[in-house]
Amino acid sequence: MRTVIQRVSEASVAIEGQTKSKIGVGLMILLGIEDVDEKEDIEWLCRKISNMRIFPDDEGVMNKSLIDVNGEALVVSQFTLHASTKKGNRPSYIQAAKPDKAIPMYESFVEELQTHLTTDIKTGEFGADMQVSLINDGPVTILVDTKNKE
């Protein structure tokens, strides 16, 4: 599982011109799922994301977590995070999980993350053509891959 996590002051997802989800201060989480990903990856990743100290404390030091600031989360499935650009100019997405595996894993990720937070998790729509807008606060952008957890 691969994520791009962005600390935001606000973020939203629109589908066909209509806002589906919107958050204030929190994290925009782009989630890429592979066929080899398992439930343990979800559990590890949700703990890591919810406890990652990337929000400023009173001195402006990144010392607070999403939990500490009671922040919101917007989770968007993004298979292109597993793009391979080794050959040619057209990325290959062969590593990305197919919908029959990816949809339940995406839903499980959202459910697991919800167990760590008091705010409701907002989402995009799996497989939809979405327009994502955000104001990256900092900017803070972090890549987390469950293949690098050891």
Active site residues: 78-80
Q: What is the CA radius of gyration of the chain?
A: 15
Tokens, residue 22: 């919107």
Tokens, residue 95: 């590593």
Which residues, 6 or more positions from 108, have their beta carbon under 8 angstroms from its beta carbon? 39, 42
Length of the chain: 150
φ, ψ for residue 81, nearest 5 deg:
-65, -20
How many degrees, rounded to 5, is the angle at CA 97 between CA 141 and CA 147? Answer: 50
